[in-house]
Amino acid sequence: MHKPMVSVVIPIYKVEAYLARCVDSVLSQTLEDLQIILVNDGSPDGCPQICDDYAKRDSRIQVIHKENGGLASARNAGMAVATGKWLFFLDSDDWLEPDGLESLVAIGEEYQVDFVRYRAIRSGWPGMEEHAPCMVEPIRELRHGYYSRQQIVEEVYPRLITTPQLSMGAVVGAWGSLYNLDFLNRNNLRFYEEVKFSEDLVFSARVVRAADSFYFVDTPGVYHYFYNPNSISKSFRAGRWDSCKGLIRTCHQDFGDDPVFDFSGQLYGKHLGGF
């Protein structure tokens, strides 16, 4: 059975206006050896039919139709059928540069890392220059280049879930990395489906904790992060406070009794005690 180089998982819900742009950007990749998994998460608009129409056009496309369960559930459903050497999450209102996946795979293969992280591009963000690089608070920024296990512990663990200033950690968005699928499967790295907001915060922290190495590409490119005012992160959702409390409980469950130590035995991440 052929094993594609990359499995691309695209969770889909109420993005009828953006879906074609997203999928077309994957079909136009210079890297053609792809498995493209469209996960229709019970979308009530025209997205299910759009997915089926794309599947008829290209044999690389596989469609999953499921009841609505949220982003974490949709990503897990895609991971369950992914067979590629590498795995990539693409949000359905975003899109890729034509050579985006090829460039990430080249780095992953050269350095033999567990994941490759990159700096994306902002598109359509109010008050921002078009195609501005995705920058975060200076304390969250990563340096360009290769990270060994020891460098992960020394440089990233102190910002694993949150910074001392209580901003988010250095590695958050699941769409911001190309993952070695065997690495994810060996470590049973999946999303907690009960967490409906910032669900990738815990996933990404667990990825970093399990990784022996990764590479960060500081040059903006690969991914266009689109400002969709109706997306989960940019619109009001009833029950968000309860979801945030659930996120904190999940962080405590996974990390509260597992303090992060450096190689000399010193405790890192003492600010996690609040969880």
Instruction: Of 134, 100, 124, 119, give the one whose Cα is nearest residue 229.
Output: 124
Task: List b or e across 171-188, with b for residues whose CB sees 16 or more CB atoms inside 10 angstroms.
Answer: bbbbbbbbbbbebbeeee
DSSP H helices in 67-161: 71-81, 100-111, 149-151
Q: Yes or no: say if 82 and 9 are a contact pair by the CB < 8 Å rule.
A: yes
pLDDT of residue 265: 35
147 token code pair: 């990270």
pLDDT of residue 253: 73
The H or E element containing residue 12 is strand 6-12
For residue 104, what are the CA distances in angstroms to 3, 157, 269?
A: 18, 24, 30
Q: Yes or no: say if 42 and 69 are a contact pair by the CB < 8 Å rule.
A: yes
The string of pLDDT tens digits covering residues 62-116 is: 999 999 999 999 999 999 999 999 999 999 999 999 999 999 999 999 999 999 9
Residue 255 has what DSSP assignment?
I
- In whole angstroms, how large is the CA radius of gyration of the chain? 18
Rounded-to-integer distance, Cα 270 and Cα 250, Å? 17
Range list of β-strands (E), 58-168: 61-66, 86-89, 95-96, 115-118, 121-123, 132-133, 145-147
Rounded-to-integer distance, Cα 113 and Cα 206, Å? 16
Q: What is the pTM of this model?
A: 0.87
Phi, psi of 35 (to 5 degrees): -110, 120
The H or E element containing residue 225 is strand 223-226
Q: What count of Cα atoms within 13 Å lies in the side-chain half-sphere of residue 91?
A: 22
pLDDT of residue 263: 32
The string of pLDDT tens digits covering residues 131-142 is: 889 888 888 899
pLDDT of residue 143: 96
